[in-house]
Structures are given as structure tokens and as C-alpha cells.
A and B are shown apart, each in its own frame.
Chain A
């Protein structure tokens, strides 16, 4: 089972690779869009990379509207919980 810290680690790696951000810039209370200046196109690519990393399917249109990175983590945790056998 994936935990919060693991998700943040993966998000940090992908953000460094794809979003031109440093992993320590990702904090749960921040928004990709308003605080970190990530536009929807970049966020779609980032989201697809995260889907590949966790073998889950995320609704891109919802991700674009998520208020915070914490909410993104919640969504990933919910999806990975569904994907892994109980």
C-alpha cells in the first residue's frame, strides 16, 4: 500500500523532471496553478506521468481544477487504494 510520503516523493521526482520545480517546493497547502504557476498543459503531462508511476487512471479535467497539492495526494491515495487488492 502506498502512503502519503511515498506519493510526495514521486510527485517531487516528476515535478523536477517535467515542471521545472524543485521537489521541496511541493507543499500540500500550495496549488500547482496559482502558487507554482503550472499551466494546464504542463499539469496534464505531469498527471499522465503520475498515472504511469502508480498504474492508476486520474481524471485530467478534475486534476486541473484541484485546489491544492494535498487534494492531489488525496486523489492518488484513493485511486491506489482502489487499485490494490484488499
Chain B
């Protein structure tokens, strides 16, 4: 099952039609409480009584929150970034709790928030919050046997990345630093890590970040 909303919905539906079998696309805006509240019923209506894995691939920051205006970004822009990129990880999981059970797993997408990157600005703050939220979420859902983890990827050349100023320079340095090298066009290593964390091959891992970055974080 894929989710999407607003103008992106048609893009998601187009992408879904290229998959085999074609997955259902459910409209979900994580900033709308009614959408979150209706989610389990929508999934049940599609025949899903249990969810084994959830991939949270949701982030957004208004242009004013990225690209070098860190000191001047106002709260309304920062609030949007935190609501969509940090809080929604917990909100989505909470919305799905009735369908999650022992062995279920939630995975979110992260970018190493242990340091301050050029121009990533409030998105970086949101990712730091995401890492903390993941730890608290793990604490909450652990007793139900549900795991919550993040995958921190190196820079990938996505359409979203084209709106991050300074992305090209960052991506170039990444490739030089990473012991394994880094291909910004190959999302497969990141996808594999997500699948692995959602699977039962990480049964005792929760509240942590797995780095899929070519090893860049490990070296100075």
C-alpha cells in the first residue's frame, strides 16, 4: 500500500501502476488529524487487518527554512518543517498502532543529524528531532513487540534533493570521503537496508540509526 496526498497523489498513482502487482494508493496528509484517524479503517477496507512494516518517507521544509537563512527563519516555517518531518513519524505510527503487533517494524528516513551541514539548516534540526523521536517511539512501542528505527542515507539525487541548495557540492565531497565510495544515483543500498530493518532479521534492534552512507560518517 502506498500513501500520498494533494498534487503528489497523481504521481504516486502513476508510479504504482508501474509496479507488479499494482499496490493500492491511499490518500494521507500527515498534517490532517482526520486523515490519520481514518487510516486504519481505510486499510481494513482494503483487506489489511495487520501491518507488518511501515516505511515513513515523509519530510518537508519551506524554502525559507533551507539554504542559508538559518538565523532569520521564522517559527511558522520551522513549525511546518518539524510537524511534517519529525512529529509525523510518531503520529503515523500511533495512527497505525491498532494494526501493528509483535514483530511489526517502523522505519524512517534520516540524514545524519550529529553535525551541522551547509545549507541543510532547519531540515537538519528536524532530522535531529527525528532521531530523538525514534528513540522515544521505540520506548513506547517496544512492549508491544514493535520496533522503530531509522536509515540515515548518504545524499541521493532525487527530485526533492534538487531543492536543497548546495546539494551538488555536498554529494561530491561525500564520494571522496566515503571508504566505499558513494553513488548518488543508486538508491538500492538504502532500500535494501530499509527492507532488512522491516524484516525479521533485526529482531532485537530498535530506537537506533543504521548508516547507509558508504562509510563517510566513520572517517575524518
A residues neighboring B (CB under 8 Å): 40-42, 44-45, 48-49, 52, 59-62, 64-65
Known: A44-B159, A45-B10, A59-B157. 4 other contacts (CB 8 A): A52-B14, A59-B185, A61-B162, A65-B162
Contacts of B163 in A (CB 8 A): 40
Chain A residues near B10 (CB, 8 Å)?
Answer: 45
CA distance A62 to B162 in the complex (A): 9
CB distance from B63 to the nearest CB of A (A): 12
B159 touches A40 (CB 8 A): yes
Expressed in whole angstroms, the Cα–Cα distance for A65 and B165 within the complex equals 13
A68 to B8, CA, bound (A): 24
Provide the main secondary structure of the chain A interface: helix
Summarize B's interface: helix, strand, loop or mixed.
Answer: helix
- Please state if A48 and B162 are interface contacts (CB–CB under 8 Å): no
Chain A hits for B157, CB < 8 A: 59, 61-62
Interchain CA distance A49-B11 in the complex, whole Å: 10
Q: How far is the CA of A76 from the CA of B162 in the complex (A)?
A: 20
- Total chain B interface residues with beta-carbon distance under 8 A: 13
Most B CB contacts (10 A, CB to CB) among A42, A44, A49, A52 go to A44
- Whether B115 sits at the interface, judged by CB under 8 Å, is no
- Across the A-B interface, give the 9 residue pairs with the lowest CB-CB distance, nearest first: A61-B157, A48-B14, A64-B162, A45-B11, A60-B159, A61-B159, A61-B162, A41-B7, A44-B159
- How long is the Cα–Cα vector from A60 to B14 in the complex, in angstroms? 14
Q: How far is the CA of A45 from the CA of B12 in the complex (A)?
A: 9
Least CB distance from A42 to B in Å reads 8
* A36 to B14 CA separation, bound complex (whole angstroms): 23
Cβ of A41: which chain B residues have Cβ within 8 Å of it?
A: 7-8, 11
Q: How far is the CA of A78 from the CA of B14 in the complex (A)?
A: 24
- Nearest A residue to B8 via CB reads A41
Instruction: List residues 127-184 of chain B with CB under 8 A from any CB of chain A.
Output: 157-159, 161-163
B15 within 8 A of A: yes
Q: A42 vs B6: C-alpha distance in the bound complex, in angstroms?
A: 12
Whether A45 and B162, one on each chain, are in contact in the complex, defined by CB atoms closer than 8 angstroms, is no
Q: Which residue from chain B places its CB closest to the CB of A45 in the assembled complex?
A: B11
Most chain A beta carbons < 10 A, residue from B8, B14, B158, B159? B159
B197 to chain A, nearest CB (A): 25
Look across to chain B and name the residue whose beta carbon is closest to the beta carbon of A65. B162
B11-36 with Cβ < 8 A to chain A: 11, 14-15
Q: Across the interface, name the chain B residue whose C-beta is closest to A61.
A: B157
Are A61 and B11 in contact, CB atoms less than 8 angstroms apart?
Answer: no
Distance of B82 from chain A, by nearest CB (Å): 22
- Closest B residue to A62 by beta carbon equals B157
Report the separation of the CA atoms of residues A52 and B14 in the bound assembly, to the nearest whole angstrom.
Answer: 10
Contacts of B15 in A (CB 8 A): 48
